[in-house]
Chains A and B, each alone.
Chain A
Amino acid sequence: MNTPILSAQGIRKSYGRGSARFDALRGVSLDVNAGESIAIVGKSGSGKSTLMHLLALLDIPDGGRISVNGTDATKLSVKQVNQLRNEDFGFVFQQFFLTPNASVLDNVVLPLEIAGVSSKERKARGMAVLKQLELDDKAKNKAINLSGGQKQRVVIARALVNNPRVIFADEPTGNLDTATGSLVEDILFSLNKEQGITLVIVTHDVELAARCDRQIYIRDGLEEGIDTTAGAAA
């Protein structure tokens, strides 16, 4: 088999010190292969978000090893890590994190602006991705004036604008009603199927988890057992 795009080996993460110390992850291992969709499932507080942040190189584990395409993450320079997150990763966080008074387009092209793409190209690529998510008519609106579903689509557009290889989504449907939620799910899975984008989805929603190729169950910072059944059946 090919080298996994992301690999975690026995990673540990604690918060706080001394008596206030809390072990959020206590030795979790997993591989994410290019092109698959994987669900990290567990109850609230089980350490899902922590795991996702570590996989996305947003944080450094206290123990264990993370590799990207077979390269140990600790061997990467700060600049390389930034570039990786900027160019190869797309993020959908638990909250929208949109700049309320900026336009939808400006919010969407933020990763491109950080990458140093020219404003003309930013606009073209931003509009293209908004069109893909059927939001091009809202490009000039302020982000604050959108509905929850529209906001989440803007967030996905932002995650998508830099043509990432992996999209990390933390409870992407958590803030949405069921109908809008399943719409957003459809968008994510079509990106996975049609553009081959790897999906790492954090959720406590079993139905959403079941739509993924693979599920990792986390409980109190430990993996409960890997279920390898192809989940598309649900």
Chain B
Amino acid sequence: MKFLDVIRTAVHNSFRSKMRTALTVVAIFIGAFTLTITTAIGTGISSYIDNQLASVGSADVISIGKATEGDSTVDDGPARYDPDKATAASGFPGGATPPGLPVGALSDDDIASIRGTDGILDANPVVMVAPSYIEFDGNGKYELTVNPSAAVTKADLAAGSQLGGLDDTNELLLPASYLENLGFTNAESAEGRTVTIGSSTYQGEMKEVTATVVGIQNESLFGSGVGLGQQLTDALVDVQNTGKPRGAPVGYFAAVAHIGSDATQPEIDAIKADLEDQGFVGRTVADQIGTIQTVVNGIVGVLNAFAVIALIAAGFGIVNTLLMSVQERTREIGLMKAMGMSGGKIYALFSTEAVFIGFLGSAMGALVAIGVGSAISNVLSETLLSDLQGLDVLKFAPASVAGIVLVVMLIAFLAGTLPARRASKQNPIDALRYE
């Protein structure tokens, strides 16, 4: 029997018992549908994070903190108090240590030694400023959140340019969501305008600083809040420190260092190792985002596992369907064998039928998943997730959809081996006598 005839006959046979085939196809459909959707969620979120990472793009920035002894060991108990260590959370310009960051503070000496590390071009302490309000053109005062990572990331801009382009200017990046309240009609109209920022001094007295909006950024995972340029930050620190008693200890919770933008991963690793030897912890943007990615991958992995379990259950449906077919077609198989059909071809006939059923279910499941998923994804990105521009929760990559269909066909083939073997081993005489 020719290969094409085997396929044609197998396809034809699978339609002989329509109800039974249909039910098996439905089981596979559900599994393939789920797997396609979960994979698409994985792809969607991963590619969003990748895009964010690409737009952030500052591969040349390392955030550096003080390594605390407690970081490495849980069992050793607290480390001995060291009076030489820069201390006092109150010493951070602007307030307490943000949660989740190393507790140890960096002193000016530490900053100097970071600057002296091989491969590090420059290093600046990160200072926390907490301005009270922002106002444009007398349209009212609004609270503002400062984007702490503005210095280490590249903003995804709706208009204007990045921070650091203008000398002697108090540069500021405005999130798109601030535009309306402040009284701007659109992103372009805000570019280059001057806004006023209010901040209280150490004594609690309110002072104002003016700043120029250099760019407007889209809302994103890494870019919520107002981005402040270095000069504006310095100006706000000055305001905050006005009236601060002399001699209060100074420390920084972190520093931002630049390395050569062409640094390779081994070079970056070497710099991080070097920093570690000096008692610092360095984390690149990629390190930080990698953590998020790991969590997302974990969740998607669990979802996929459920879908695969559904598919394995569907595989047993195929086994069952085909065993019944083999039983029903005993005489037909016997006749074909009597007429010289080889066991191998009989095997191929039933395996092909299994694979075809698998293909039907998975192709339909994948297609419907793409249709339904795209619709849901569109609705979501216009409603619930509209703040996260550029996020398609479900993203269907042709390669992974094709991969799913192939995997299901493989599962179907494996499920078909038992019935196909049984059919191919049948003795034609027993089959022909079978009543």
Which residues of A are at the interface with B, using a C-beta cutoff of 8 A? Answer: 53, 56, 58-59, 78-79, 82-87, 91, 93, 95, 97, 99, 101, 110-111, 113-116, 118-119
Does chain A have a CB within 8 A of B388? no
Does chain A have a CB within 8 A of B96? no
Q: In the complex, which residue of chain A has the Cβ closest to the Cβ of B339? A: A111
Please name 18 pairs of A and B residues whose Cβ atoms are closer than 8 Å in the assembled complex, sorted by A. A58-B428, A58-B429, A59-B427, A59-B429, A78-B343, A86-B341, A95-B331, A97-B432, A110-B336, A110-B339, A111-B340, A113-B1, A113-B9, A114-B341, A114-B345, A116-B2, A116-B5, A118-B2
Most buried by A among B339, B427, B428: B339
Given A93-B432, A97-B331, residue A114 in contact with residue B336 (CB < 8 A):
yes
User: In the complex, what residues of A have CB within 8 A of residue B425's CB?
Assistant: none
User: In the complex, what residues of A have CB within 8 A of residue B428's CB?
Assistant: 58
Does chain A have a CB within 8 A of B406? no
Q: A59–B16 Cα gap in the complex (Å)? A: 30
Does chain A have a CB within 8 A of B146? no
A86-B340, A116-B2 given; 11 more Cβ-contact pairs under 8 Å: A59-B429, A79-B342, A82-B341, A91-B339, A97-B335, A110-B336, A111-B339, A113-B9, A114-B341, A114-B345, A118-B2
User: In the complex, what residues of B have CB within 8 A of residue A86's CB?
Assistant: 339-341
**Cross-chain pair count, CB within 8 angstroms:** 57
Q: A99–B328 Cα gap in the complex (Å)? A: 12
Whether A83 lies near B5 (C-beta < 8 A) is no
Q: A23–B164 Cα gap in the complex (Å)? A: 101
CB distance from B268 to the nearest CB of A (A): 63
Does chain A have a CB within 8 A of B287? no
B 186-228 to A, binary, CB cutoff 8 A, 1 in contact else 0: 0000000000000000000000000000000000000000000
Most buried by B among A79, A86, A113: A113
Does chain A have a CB within 8 A of B338? yes
Task: Tell me the residues in window 313-370 of chain B with beta carbons closer than 8 Å to chain A beta carbons.
Answer: 331-332, 335-336, 338-343, 345
Q: In the complex, which residue of chain B has the Cβ closest to the Cβ of A117? A: B2
User: In the complex, what residues of B have CB within 8 A of residue A93's CB?
Assistant: 335, 338, 432
Whether B432 lies near A116 (C-beta < 8 A) is no
CB distance from A25 to the nearest CB of B (A): 13
User: In the complex, what residues of B have CB within 8 A of residue A119's CB?
Assistant: 5
Task: Tell me the residues in window 15-40 of chain B with beta carbons closer than 8 Å to chain A beta carbons.
Answer: 16
Q: In the complex, which residue of chain A has the Cβ closest to the Cβ of B3? A: A116
Whether B338 lies near A91 (C-beta < 8 A) is yes
User: In the complex, what residues of A have CB within 8 A of residue B331's CB?
Assistant: 95, 97
Main secondary structure of the interface of B (DSSP, over half): helix
Q: In the complex, which residue of chain A has the Cβ closest to the Cβ of B331? A: A97
Q: A84–B338 Cα gap in the complex (Å)? A: 10
Q: A110–B1 Cα gap in the complex (Å)? A: 9
Q: A95–B435 Cα gap in the complex (Å)? A: 10
CB distance from B263 to the nearest CB of A (A): 64
Whether A84 lies near B340 (C-beta < 8 A) is yes
Task: Tell me the residues in window 280-321 of chain B with beta carbons closer than 8 Å to chain A beta carbons.
Answer: none
Given A99-B332, A116-B2, residue A85 in contact with residue B16 (CB < 8 A):
no
Whether B429 lies near A82 (C-beta < 8 A) is no
Q: A115–B340 Cα gap in the complex (Å)? A: 8
Contacting residue for B342 out of A82, A87, A110, A111, CB 8 A: A82
CB distance from A142 to the nearest CB of B (A): 13
Q: In the complex, which residue of chain A has the Cβ closest to the Cβ of B435? A: A95
Q: A155–B362 Cα gap in the complex (Å)? A: 40
Whether A85 lies near B2 (C-beta < 8 A) is no
User: In the complex, what residues of A have CB within 8 A of residue B338's CB?
Assistant: 56, 58, 85, 91, 93
Q: A3–B340 Cα gap in the complex (Å)? A: 24
Whether A82 lies near B2 (C-beta < 8 A) is no
Whether A114 lies near B340 (C-beta < 8 A) is yes
Most buried by A among B332, B340, B432: B340
Whether B340 lies near A85 (C-beta < 8 A) is yes
CB distance from A143 to the nearest CB of B (A): 12
CB distance from B24 to the nearest CB of A (A): 20
User: In the complex, what residues of B have CB within 8 A of residue A53's CB?
Assistant: 429
CB distance from A20 to the nearest CB of B (A): 16
User: In the complex, what residues of B have CB within 8 A of residue A59's CB?
Assistant: 427, 429
CB distance from A86 to the nearest CB of B (A): 3
Q: A37–B432 Cα gap in the complex (Å)? A: 24
Q: A110–B340 Cα gap in the complex (Å)? A: 10
